[in-house]
Amino acid sequence: MHTAVDTQLIQALDSAHFLHPFTDLKDLQARGARVITRAQDIYVWDSEDRRMLDAMSGLWCVNVGYGRKELADAASQQMMTLPYYNSFFQTTNVPAAKLAAKLAALAPDVGERSFKHVFYSSSGSESNDSNVRMVRRYWDLLGQPQRKTIISRMNAYHGSTMAGASLGGMRDMHAQGDLPIPGITHIGQPYFFENGAPGESAEDFGVRAAGWLETKILEVGAEKVAAFIAEPLQGAGGVIIPPASYWPEIQRIVDKYGILLISDEVICAFGRLGHWFGYEKFGYKPDLITFAKAITGGYIPLGGVMVGNRVAKVLIEQGGEFTHGYTYSGHPVACAVALANLDIMERENLPGRVRDDVGPYLARAFAQLETHPLVGVAETCGFVGGLVLVRNPQTREKFKADLNVGMVCRGHCFANGLIMRAVGDRMIIAPPLTMTHAQIDEMLALIVKCLDSTYADVRKNGWL
Ligand code: PMP
């Protein structure tokens, strides 16, 4: 079904009125935005009826694929029953209460560190703002108001609000608007390919990289540190997968100093790594979990924080108003869609499918890309993957940054009907968890084609 859209008209309206996020606005005005009009399964179509395989699940969120009628039905039913009501003044609504209970049931029961409570927002950024306020409130209630500092990591992405962008470790975001805000500081990321010392094993590097947290805690003063926040693996930073030794050492360090651990699972939760939550994959136990995106399959905005017993107990038992919340905290339509989405994920066993079937299948196919003359390393974790474009795979020599080889490759992806993202010279994927083996093969064939075209450009331009 091709919906007739006047591409030029929409592009003109867009250019005249729509300021896009994370976009060079001048550049976009010159070229005109790509108009996406419809989607089904793992494919999206533009206004010229060009089909593209969406290897990014939108923005890491459409884990169940496009065109799920059940989700549209859940939204429409809830809109006709109760489209909105707030949860401020001692009121609740049916989907919000049920979803909180459902999320609590999905998180593994680990005693003191179990998750029985949820605080709702509408996005990952808002959720991380909530985290900052909540951990500071927690320490205030415990009579340790000096514990304010939150440690995060360079190249992390935790959102785009003042707190989110500050928690994140993106230099170009910090450069705009005097960020980070006070009380947030960063350590290095566990990126073995780039930061491993010559001769050092990945496991040794993982322990060394985790040690940067202890160094930072001692530098700030342990009694002033409130929390450490990290993604299980860094997603928007380029799918940086930590060595297996990293997280156990981080856990040891936060436990040693009694610091709260926030797992930002906006990308990694809901089956992405083959588990309901990403921390299960890496075997650590957070106190707070940030979620958003795939909780609704991206069909409607919803985010939140899963609050572990350690924090929830203090907030609840000590009482007093936590002066924080959003108009849309526990939005009934968003929560109804989330419930229907989690039903699909359970029924189709998507986390298990990623863990035992399509995840390993993708891992084997993706690793083959390391034989390509442009690829330094190609690795996956569950259903995310990243590869590095390098000048020389043997020596791992990189291209000069200003050549923008990643963007050249991304251009070939679009031209060939594949949506893959470039982060510097890392090309990354996070496809829908519903992909069949045949669709994985189709995606890999497209990736190879785009790598070949990029390689041809690189040779033609004399960049080797
Ligand atoms: N945390 C992480 C780990 C993310 O990947 C993102 C978004 N990519 C966010 C937070 C921010 O989420 P949102 O864009 O919904 O505010």
> Is 6 within a domain?
no
Task: Judge whether 276 lies within some domain.
Answer: yes
Q: Does 454 score more than 70 pLDDT? A: yes
Q: One-letter amino acid identity for 402?
A: D
Q: Are 115 and 186 within one domain?
A: yes
Asked if 47 and 167 sit in the same domain, the reply is no
Distance 14 CA to ligand 1 centre (A): 24
Please name which of 336, 399, 416, 317 lies closest in space to residue 117, comparing C-alpha atoms: 317
Ligand 1 site, CB within 6 A: 123-125, 128, 157-159, 231, 235-236, 264, 266-267, 292, 303
Give me the pLDDT at residue 3, please. 63
Ligand 1 atom at minimal distance to the Cα of residue 125:
16
- Would 199 be classed as within a structural domain? yes
Co-location of 251 and 281 in the same domain: yes
Domain assignment present for 123: yes
For this complex, say whether ipTM is above 0.90: yes
Return the CATH number at 39.
3.90.1150.10
Distance 114 CA to ligand 1 centre (A): 24
If you average pLDDT over every residue of the chain, what do you get? Answer: 97
CA–centroid distance, 214 to ligand 1, in Å, is 26
Judge if 182 and 102 occupy the same domain. Answer: yes
Residues 98 and 53 in one domain: no
- Nearest alpha-carbon partner for 294 in 275, 263, 272: 272
CATH number of the domain residue 336 falls in: 3.40.640.10
Nearest to 276 by CA among 108, 60, 57: 108
Tell me what pLDDT residue 249 has. Answer: 98
Question: Which ligand 1 atom is at minimum distance from the Cα of 128?
Answer: 10
| Residue nearest (by alpha carbon) to ligand 1 atom 1 | 158
Domain identity same for 78 and 48: no
Rounded Cα–Cα distance for residues 78 and 84 (Å): 9
Residue 310 lies in a domain: yes
180 closest CA partner among 164, 203, 156, 159: 164
The yes-or-no verdict on residue 197 having pLDDT over 90 is yes
Tell me the CA–centroid distance for residue 461 and ligand 1, in Å.
36
pLDDT score for 110: 80
**Domain for residue 341, yes or no?**
yes
In the reported structure, the alpha carbon of residue 151 is separated from the centroid of ligand 1 by a whole-number distance in angstroms of 18
Q: Look at the chain and count its residues.
A: 464
326 and 228 assigned to the same domain: yes
Query: Percentage of the chain surpassing pLDDT 90?
Result: 97
The pLDDT of residue 112 = 77
Contact 234, 112 (CB under 8 A): no
Q: How close are the terminal C-alpha atoms of the chain, in Å?
A: 45
Verify that 195 and 331 share a domain, yes or no: yes
Closest CA to 75 of 238, 300, 387, 378: 300
Q: Is 348 exposed, middle or buried (0-12, 13-18, 19+ CB in 10 A)?
A: middle
Give the mean pLDDT of 336-350. 98
Comparing 110-119, 270-279, 426-435, the range with the smallest average pLDDT is 110-119
DSSP-derived secondary structure for 253-308: HHHHHT-EEEEE-TTTTTTTTSSSSHHHHHT---SEEEE-GGGGTTSS--EEEEEE
Domain boundary, last residue among 328, 347, 366: 347
pLDDT tens-digit readout, 242-298: 999 999 999 999 999 999 999 999 999 999 999 999 999 999 999 999 999 999 999
Please give the tally of structural domains in the chain. Answer: 2
The atom of ligand 1 lying closest to the CA of 236 is 5
- 8 Å CB contact between 88 and 325: yes
Q: In this structure, are 340 and 388 located in the same domain?
A: no
Nearest atom in ligand 1 to 265's CA:
3
- Chain centroid to Cα 36, Å, comes to 22
Q: Domain range spanning residue 81?
A: 73-347
Q: Same structural domain for residues 341 and 360?
A: no
Domain boundary among 297, 316, 347: 347
Residue 394 lies in a domain: yes
User: Do residue 328 and residue 357 come from a single domain?
Assistant: no
Is 403 found in the same domain as 326?
no
Longest dimension (CA), the chain: 68
Which of these three, 331, 347, 363, is where a domain ends?
Answer: 347
196 DSSP assignment: P
Average pLDDT for 99-122: 93
- Does residue 388 belong to any structural domain of this protein? yes
